[in-house]
A and B are shown apart, each in its own frame.
Chain A
Amino acid sequence: NFMLTQPHSVSESPGKTVTISCTRSSGTIASSYVQWYQQRPGSAPTTVIYEDYQRPSGVPDRFSGSIDSSSNSASLTISGLKTEDEADYYCQSYDSSNQNRVFGGGTKLTVL
């Protein structure tokens, strides 16, 4: 079993770039795909990145995902920040030892 650890919160100004990390506690980050979900208050989560770096149709290319084996972490980078990007972001992966899906604790992004 492993955990995914995210910073509790990040903040940045409009137009800037922010990166949210997701660190896997054990096992290798590259062994299972990582997804990123955006959740605005009162709404269900929606995907912004799937399978490490893929973007669903309709998600702007300001959103990008990456994997860093040296830090055993995944990252979500949002460039050209807009106030509408303000939301909670969750990473998610798969634990092959028990076939469970695993979520990170979530990161609250504030754009101010």
Chain B
Amino acid sequence: EVQLVESGGGLVQPGGSLRLSCAASGFTFSSYGLNWVRQPPGKGLEWLSYISSTASPMYYADSVKGRFTISRDYAKNSLYLQMNGLRDEDTAVYYCARGSTSSSHLDYWGQGTLVTVSS
């Protein structure tokens, strides 16, 4: 069974940093691209970033480019999102999602971790 479990969310002050993790299991980690998607409270989904199965290339939404960095660790079967320069508008539930091998379909999602940016 495919499982994605996010962790690392919490309360952080504006301008601060946070690193999210996503532990993957139930599939061959090195064969799939992975995504981060967020959802502000009461709002819609926003795609943030993608990392390929080979860790390159990586892509980012304009809203986080230069502030967030996606990475993966094959030994730990884990995906990461390093978030720097956090702003109030980054407050959201952050999901990791597996990418399908055949299209941009996000076929499995974690349950999400809440990041709150506030002073």
Contact = CB atoms under 8 A, between A and B. Distances in A.
Contacts, number: 68
B104 A44 contact: no
On chain A, which size bracket covers the interface? 20 to 34
A54 B57 CA distance: 27
On chain B, which size bracket covers the interface? 20 to 34
Contacts of B9: none
Contact of A102 (B35, B47, B100): B47
Given A44-B112, A50-B100, A103-B45, 5 more contacts: A35-B103, A50-B103, A98-B59, A101-B104, A106-B44
Nearest to B58: A99
A99 to B, nearest CB: 5
B102 A51 contact: yes
Nearest to A95: B104
B64 to A, nearest CB: 11
Contact of A44 (B44, B47, B103, B111): B111
A105 B40 CA distance: 12
A92 B44 contact: no
Contacts of A92: 45, 47, 104-106
Contacts of B59: 98-100
A53 interface: no
